Amino acid sequence: MNDNALILSQQLGQAYKIACLAEIEAVKPGNVHIFADGHGMQVQDFIHSAEVSSPFISQAELALGERIFRSVEATWGAVGCNTNLGIILLCAPIIQAALLPATTSLRDQLEQVLANTTQADAEYLFKAIRTANPAGLGRAESHDVHKSATCTLLEAMQASADRDFISQQYANGFLQVFDEGVSHYEAALLRWERPAWATTALYLYWLSQHPDSHIVRKYDTSIAMTVQGEANVHHQALEALDNPKHYLSQLLVFDQSLKSRGINPGTSADLTVATLLVHNCCN
């Protein structure tokens, strides 16, 4: 690896860690954040996960599937639980794209990365998912992660895109991250000039606009849609304020309500990190 490639790898690893830590520092009702642990996990678990996975997720010479697996493997070895599978699944291809020679936009390079995945990438993906063992993981009629891969990584994601929002990003070129997430975060950042509150607004946007896949897997679509409606009320209330910190107490009440019901909007948190990473890579 030449010096320029090493520097870029280190920069992307840092951009990834910054995105992970920024998400933890924001109030995210139902999820783990600096104001409250939850679901048997602590803030330090997520900080440690970001630290140990960053060298692997940004390692220049890895193919996408191995990049995902090595990052998940490092996380599991450090904290012994699934803190960041969704984060890694979303951030790994973004970093893979950013590692390419910058001949076009990050978005175009990401589409190139997704279009060129292999069966070996899928095998590593399946291994990563089995290692993390996310809540609600079951059996599938096609491309079952408990069996050997017979498809490319992209084909595996396309097969589950109708029921998983992370897979849907792979299938549509991260459409929602680029067209919805980045613009929403940057508008909130411009308005309030407070990154942590802009991140909270972004998280609530995801939770209020799209049924959270993690909730759907663990419970069902009706509960996910109920939470989506609750989140929309808080999202609109927060967006109406000139000073978002005045809404902190209401968000913490919502946080406790979700956690008392065992509801963790993990996919919304994962999309938040991915959006922050794209913002970091493009600015």
Residue 140 lies inside a defined structural domain of this protein: no
Q: Which segments in the chain show pLDDT lower than 70?
A: 1, 135-144
DSSP string, 22-52: HHHTS--TTS-BTTB-BTTB-HHHHHHHHHH
Q: What are phi and psi of 139, to 5 degrees?
A: -100, 150
Residue 234 lies inside a defined structural domain of this protein: yes
DSSP string, 48-114: HHHHHHHHHHT-TT--HHHHHHHHHHHHHHHHSS-SSHHHHHHHHHHHHHHTS--SS-HHHHHHHHH
Q: How many domains does the chain have?
A: 1
What pLDDT does 1 receive? 65
Own/partner long-range contacts of 239-244 (Cβ < 8 Å, ≥24 apart): 239/188, 239/201, 244/192, 244/194, 244/197, 244/200, 244/201
Residue 217 lies inside a defined structural domain of this protein: yes
What is the rounded CA–CA span in Å between residue 87 and residue 76? 14
Q: What is the pTM of this model?
A: 0.95
Residue 171 lies inside a defined structural domain of this protein: no
Q: What are phi and psi of 36, to 5 degrees?
A: -165, 130
What is the rounded CA–CA span in Å between residue 164 and residue 53? 23
What pLDDT does 262 receive? 96
What pLDDT does 17 receive? 98
Residue 148 lies inside a defined structural domain of this protein: no
Residue 24 lies inside a defined structural domain of this protein: no
**Could you tell me the residue range of the domain that residue 259 belongs to?**
177-277
